[in-house]
């Protein structure tokens, strides 16, 4: 199958959607499909052979974060050229209502379109603003995928219609097989905790973890918090309790390999996020690596953690609740072992081997429907104009 995938966010700036698109493309390539990804990227960036750049992105505030997007006449021309040269059986757009290359590809596509929605917000300004622009093209979206029930609810609220719920994927075995690093591992009386995320993005909740740390140190004096992720933590540390600062190790941005090794090393993974999460991929990564998870009780996180059966949860935004949960968990080796076992089993649900099968099933369903429609329309003279969307038609 010839698959075209569009990522709206800059490829050379790490992010969950970019990683999802990268992994999906590489899984399908390994399965023998032809895949091309269109995404914003700097012209001098080192790009994988399957990626086509649609131009440099600019930063835009979006969903409590900063997204790097591209939009305009140059992007439009590159989208058109990519579609014409790709001659795809199916086009898979990610976040198609964000003002970006995904929306432009939706306007231009003649091929059957599948769209994945990653965002979960009570009120999505992007979806509200884009609705008049998107409405005439909605019929092009043959199937909608949401990465969680929260994301599906957002789609239904703003756009209506049904969605398939297919979660983000993780290469579970890569995390399970990672080698722990001695300097990141805990010791008796000196456990280690991990936080992963952009450290200066408030909704990731690092401030909550820092405020919880003094009470944890009262019960477990040797505790260390290992903080990994891009951004500058200086302002947060300047305002934090000196004891919390002394117990915090800022690692900065880490490679995929080191992320897996970090999660394999620590006694618990802490996810104190405040909101704006539609899934919780890092929770799955932590479970795959065998790290007991302690997470905010966001609905998206509860879904990943099977309503708290595979991880400990606490009241979102409450530093006292987080510290109490951590104190209890670090004192209970048996409970940590239970969470490791349950989390490892749960993570298999999100392995790419399963997730890619679900996405491919959507593709095949869409193409079967498109083929049937074309067969019905053929007597009305539409065959020659539309047949190139049908796989295996043999028509030039």
Of 111, 81, 138, 20, the C-alpha closest to 389 is 111
**How buried is 307 (Cβ within 10 angstroms: 0-12 exposed, 13-18 middle, 19+ buried)?**
exposed
**Residue 390 pLDDT:** 45
Print burial letters for 84-107: b (CB count within 10 Å at least 16), e (below 16). Answer: eebebbbbbbbbbbbbbbbbbbbe
How far, in Å, CA of 194 to CA of 125, rounded? 33
Print burial letters for 51-75: b (CB count within 10 Å at least 16), e (below 16). Answer: bbbbbbbeebebbeeebbbbbeeeb
**Residue 377 pLDDT:** 61
* Alpha-helical runs (H) found in 294-395: 299-304, 319-330, 333-347, 352-377, 383-386
β partners of residue 116 = 94, 145
Domains along the sequence of the chain with CATH: 2-169+352-389 (3.40.50.2000), 172-348 (3.40.50.2000)
Of 120, 169, 106, 116, the C-alpha closest to 145 is 116
**pLDDT per residue of the chain (396 residues) written in tens, 0 to 9:** 999 999 998 888 778 899 999 999 999 999 999 999 999 988 777 889 999 998 876 655 555 555 555 666 778 889 999 999 999 999 999 998 877 899 889 989 999 999 999 987 645 555 555 566 566 677 789 999 999 998 998 888 878 778 999 999 999 999 999 999 999 999 999 999 999 998 989 999 999 999 999 999 999 999 999 999 999 999 999 999 999 999 999 999 999 999 999 999 999 999 999 988 888 999 999 999 999 999 999 999 999 999 999 999 999 999 999 999 999 999 999 999 999 999 999 999 999 999 999 999 999 999 998 877 766 665 544 444 444 444 444 433
Instruction: List, in order, residues 6 or more apart from 205 with CB less than 8 Å away.
Output: 271, 272, 273, 274, 296, 317
**Cβ contact 168:279 at 8 Å:** yes
Print burial letters for 315-352: b (CB count within 10 Å at least 16), e (below 16). Answer: ebbbbebbbbbbbebbeeeeebeebbebbbebbbbbbb
DSSP state of 336: H
Q: Structure tokens of 250? A: 């800022």
**Residue 391 pLDDT:** 44
pTM of the model: 0.85
**Residue 394 pLDDT:** 42
């Amino acid at each position: 199958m010839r698959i075209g995938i569009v990522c709206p966010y800059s490829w050379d700036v790490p992010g969950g959607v970019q990683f999802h698109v990268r992994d999906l493309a590489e899984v399908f390539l390994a399965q023998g499909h032809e895949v091309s990804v269109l995404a914003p990227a700097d012209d001098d960036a080192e790009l994988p052979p399957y990626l086509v750049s649609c131009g440099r992105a600019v930063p835009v505030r979006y969903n409590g974060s900063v997204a790097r997007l591209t939009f305009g006449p140059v992007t439009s021309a590159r989208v058109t050229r990519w579609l014409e040269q790709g001659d795809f059986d199916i086009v898979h757009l990610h976040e198609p209502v964000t003002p970006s290359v995904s929306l432009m590809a939706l306007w231009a596509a003649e091929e059957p379109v599948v769209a994945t929605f990653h965002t979960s917000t009570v009120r999505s300004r992007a979806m509200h603003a884009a609705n008049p622009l998107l409405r005439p093209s909605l019929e092009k979206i043959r199937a909608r995928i949401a990465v969680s029930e929260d994301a599906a609810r957002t789609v239904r609220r703003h756009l209506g219609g049904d969605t398939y719920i297919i979660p983000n994927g993780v290469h579970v075995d890569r995390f399970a097989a990672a080698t722990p690093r001695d300097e990141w591992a805990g010791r008796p009386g000196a456990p280690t905790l991990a936080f992963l995320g952009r450290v200066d993005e408030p909704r990731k909740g690092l401030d909550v973890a820092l405020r919880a740390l003094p009470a944890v140190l009262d019960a477990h004096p040797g505790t260390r918090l290992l903080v990994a992720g891009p951004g500058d933590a200086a302002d947060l540390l300047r305002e934090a309790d000196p004891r919390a600062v002394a117990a915090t190790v800022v690692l900065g941005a880490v490679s995929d390999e080191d992320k897996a090794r970090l999660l394999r090393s620590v006694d618990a993974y802490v996810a104190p996020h405040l909101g704006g999460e539609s899934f919780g991929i890092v929770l799955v990564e932590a479970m795959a690596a065998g790290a007991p998870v302690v997470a905010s009780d966001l609905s998206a996180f509860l879904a990943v953690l099977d309503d708290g059966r595979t991880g400990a949860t606490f009241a979102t935004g409450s530093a006292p609740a987080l510290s109490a949960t951590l104190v209890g968990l670090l004192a209970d080796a048996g409970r940590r072992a239970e969470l490791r076992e349950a989390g490892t089993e749960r993570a298999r649900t999100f392995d790419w081997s399963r997730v890619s099968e679900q996405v491919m099933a959507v593709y095949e369903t869409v193409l079967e429907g498109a083929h049937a429609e074309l067969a019905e329309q053929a007597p009305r003279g539409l065959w020659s104009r539309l047949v190139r969307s049908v796989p295996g038609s043999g028509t030039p």
